[in-house]
Structure 1
Amino acid sequence: MSVQLLIAQVLLLSLGLLGIAAVEPENIVDHGAKALLALLATLLVARLRPRTFLKIGPAVWGVTLVLLLLVFFIGEGTQESGGTRRWLDFGGPFRFQPSEMAKLGLVLMLASFFSRRGVQNKLISATGMIVVTTALVFFEPDLGTSVLMFGLGIILMYAAGVRITKIGGFMLALGLIALPFAGLYLQTHPYILERWNGYQTREEDVSVGLDQIGMAHRDLNFGGLWGLGPDAPRYEYFAERTDMIVASVGFTSGLLGVAMLMFAYWLIVATALEVAHLASRVRPMTPEIHGASILAIGAMFMVVGQAFVNLCVAAGVFPVTGVPLPLVSYGFSSMLTMSLALAVIHSAMREVRRHLPEESPDALPLSAD
């Protein structure tokens, strides 16, 4: 397993606990228990070999498609999501957001597909997988997650070895096909334009999302360099615990905590890139090694791509999307899925290092079998 990846996960989960302690201290025990379960899931699933992930990829992807379809019939919404249907509730702890699982399902499916079939003349099938998965999330509607899902598919294509010119043509064709339907979609879901208009005009009375950004900036400013701690006097309300949890982290632990947050995500990126680098040195390049490299890059983008969007929202660069901060925000669906993504990277790292020739130099010092 990769020590640096474990450090990143523990850092993120710990910072999430600090953030929740400031926003909703009554939920700290619940959040802590779920964080421990997520960490345990990472340790257990990381013991599997990449060939297992590649083998079960089509089945996992198929299950997530069924769950996404069920959302349209028996799905439930929340106040935070504006009443849109994004959740399945089977009672007790069996309440989750299928779109979170669908990200991992798409990673496993495309990695399995490209490792078995290669990248030559196989783009129509891969494109269909990306479009179907993205469309089911898009029509929930969940625009932020669907954009991330589409980006994830593009990254997986590139990681598999598809030429950038072919990817560009694929994106252009889909854009031209989708353009006539964009106006109808925005008319059906006016809250998207309301958020965008609020972001553009910077008028707090236009959008609740902009008000959230203002509160996030306030909390970050009050945190200062070292933070005020989770026991500092609370304001009447804090920025939202999902979209703006980084503001609570900054309030409790200051600039130091935010820097640690960024460092943890950098460790995830560095580990996945190391897997891809080492995989390129393995000769011969077997389908399993190729698949392990795709899995690592896809799982990394799942985590860091979503973190990038969330942090840009908190900074006011992007309009509010409702995308949680991976391994930090309150919510078990996202936390568990992202923890499983880290387990995939652990597995890929171990497999690639096992196949390195003996004369190859070791990987980064923080990585270990």
Structure 2
Amino acid sequence: MEEKRLTLRENLASLDRLQLFPALVLLFLGVVSIFSAGAGFAGRGGGFAARQILWGCLSAAAFLTVLQIGYARLFSWAYRIYTFALVLLLGVIVLGLTVKGSQSWFHLGFFRFQPAEFGKIALILVLAKHFCRYPPMTLPSFLGGLALAGVSGWLVLLQPDAGSAMVYGAITMVTIVVAGAPWKYPAGLIGLMMAAVPLVWQFLKEYQKMRIRVFLDPWVDPLGAGYNVIQSRIAVGSGGLLGKGFMEGLQSKLRFLPEPHTDFIFSVYCEEFGFIGAIGMLLLFGLLFWRLIETAMRTKDSRAKVLIAGISAWIWFQMAESIGMSIGLLPVTGLPLPLVSYGGSSLLALSIALALAQSVYISTLKTY
């Protein structure tokens, strides 16, 4: 007998509000920071913020749609969704718009669309389904899952988009572990990756090598590749304990800080809201992670556990990398700060992912 589906109103009433709250506050802080970051160059902050709000409305519609469809039904389409994502990733290499050296975007009139963001959702869905159908307990199953994930990762690298490829790698590694792979397999993979670093270095483009050099010492090229990191550090440090106040940050207003509304949004936020504001943002991310992990612990569906693990790995890795590069602790990759940085594709994809997590949470209420 088919289980009765909840109405949209019933689903909304059953939402995990402690998971929804930090996501909405982070989105609000993002819009505020985007508005401030853009105010210094031709007064474009209002336009950026308005577009982000518009994308927020589209993301809310996508959230409600996915919530109503439910994660279980999307699992039944997982392989088809992943195939479609691969077609998009291949298509953008051929027909995409090149931005800052990466051919990662489709230009759709007023908007730009980045397939790599939606590829993350497709990857998580297909790995969750695949690893629960073929658990990575044996070497062939482990390698089969790696090959499945490797196709999308390779297409992203060809754009080239090393930052997104790293996110794909983090998602794959975490889902493999949560799916029950013996530790010797992921440990062996990490060992091989470390051993391959000298070989990979030979294939890196010069700008990618320079990013690694300036990570180790920004002053090796203070007016070139190291400039971004130096100015970002200045912005974060000048915020002090309480910050300079909303719209009072000088690094973005005087155009010292590059890409303030995207790559270095955390620097803009820290300059204006200080150390206390930064701690508050980290606590919001912490609350979001706690609720995601709690949902994964509650569900009895092994596919859903792997699904939540993949979503958590995605958000955590991007958060850590974006904040880390802003304060000079990690190399600059251009990854957006989840829910905060300007970017419609990222926001829309994250909203779909959080809707899947909420759908899993709602399903657990029936068993408690």
**2:135, 2:181 within 8 Å by CA — same for their partners in 1?**
no
Correspondence for 2:37: 23
Q: How far off its partner does 1:175 sit? A: 6.2
Is the counterpart of residue 99 in structure 1 residue 120 in structure 2? no
2:280 is aligned, of 238, 252, 260, to: 260
* SS across alignment from 1:212: helix
- Cα shift readout 1:75-134 (whole Å, capped 9, x = no counterpart): 2222xx3x22111224333x2111111111110100111233334442232111121111
Using the alignment, how far apart are the partners of 1:212 and 1:332 within structure 2?
23
Report whether the alignment pairs 1:291 with 2:303.
yes
Matching residue's letter, 1:182: V
Query: Residues 1-369 of structure 1: matches in 2 within 5 Å?
Result: 1-24=15-38, 25-26=45-46, 27-78=48-99, 81=100, 83-93=101-111, 95-121=112-138, 122-172=141-191, 182-186=200-204, 189-203=205-219, 205=221, 208-232=224-248, 234=250, 235-237=253-255, 238-240=257-259, 241-279=261-299, 282=300, 289-356=301-368
CA deviations over 1:254-301 (Å, ceiling 9, x no partner)? 22321221112112211121122223xx4xxxxxx1111111111111
| Inter-CA distance 267–40: structure 2 relative to 1 (3 Å threshold) | farther
Contact 1:268–1:300 (8 Å) recurs in 2: no
List gaps (5 residues or longer) in structure 1: 283-288, 357-369
Q: What code does the residue aligned with 1:61 have?
A: Y
Task: Structure 2: give runs of 5+ residues left out of the alignment.
Answer: 1-14, 39-44
What is the CA distance between 1:183 and its match in structure 2?
A: 4.3
Q: For the residues of structure 1 that align with 2:231 and 2:222, how far apart are their CA atoms?
A: 15
Amino acid aligned to 1:137: V
Cα offset, 1:233, TM superposition: 6.6
For 2:289 and 2:127, the matched residues in 1 are separated by 20
Would you say the 8 A contact 2:89–2:116 is kept in 1? Answer: yes
C-alpha distance after superposition, 1:139-181 (max 9, x if no partner)? 21112221221121010111111121122234445666x6685
For 1:197 and 1:119, locate their aligned partners in 2 and report how far apart those are by CA, in whole Å: 37
What SS does the corresponding residue of 1:345 show, helix, strand or coil? helix
What are the superposed Cα offsets for residues 305-361 of structure 1, whole Å, 9 maximum, x if unpaired?
Answer: 1111111111101111111111111111111111111111111111123224xxxxx
Secondary structure of the structure 2 residue equivalent to 1:231 = coil
8 Å contact from structure 1 (residues 303, 341) kept in 2: no
CA deviations over 1:187-232 (Å, ceiling 9, x no partner): xx11111112222232163564432222222222333333333333
Identity %: 25
Distance of 1:248 and 1:40 partners within structure 2:
29
Tell me the distance in 2 between the aligned counterparts of 1:291 and 1:100. 21
Over 3 Å counting, the alpha-carbon distance change for 1:233 and 1:270 in structure 2 is closer
Higher alpha-carbon deviation: 25-34 or 145-154: 25-34
Secondary structure at the aligned position of 2:69 is classed as coil
Q: Residue 250 of structure 1: SS of its match in structure 2?
A: helix
Return closer, same or farther for 1:59/1:175 CA change in 2, 3 Å cut-off.
farther
Distance in 1 (alpha carbons) for counterparts of 2:329 and 2:249 = 29
Q: Is 2:67–2:355's contact at 8 Å kept on the other side of the alignment?
A: yes
* CA distance in structure 2 between the aligned counterparts of 1:162 and 1:346, rounded to whole angstroms: 26
Question: TM-score when scaled to structure 1?
Answer: 0.85
Q: Find the aligned partners of 2:226 and 2:184 in 1 and give their Cα distance.
A: 38
Cα displacement (A) at 1:184: 4.2
Higher mean Cα deviation, 39-48 or 106-115? 39-48
Distance 2:144 2:161 in 1: 24
C-alpha separation between the residues in 2 aligned to 1:349 and 1:12? 21
Question: Using the alignment, how far apart are the partners of 2:107 and 2:354 within structure 1?
Answer: 26
SS of the residue aligned with 1:4? Answer: helix
Question: 2:42 is matched with which residue?
Answer: none
Work out whether residues 235 and 268 of structure 2, in 8 Å CA contact, stay in contact via their aligned partners in 1: yes
Structure 1 residues 54 and 138: CA distance shift in structure 2, 3 A: same
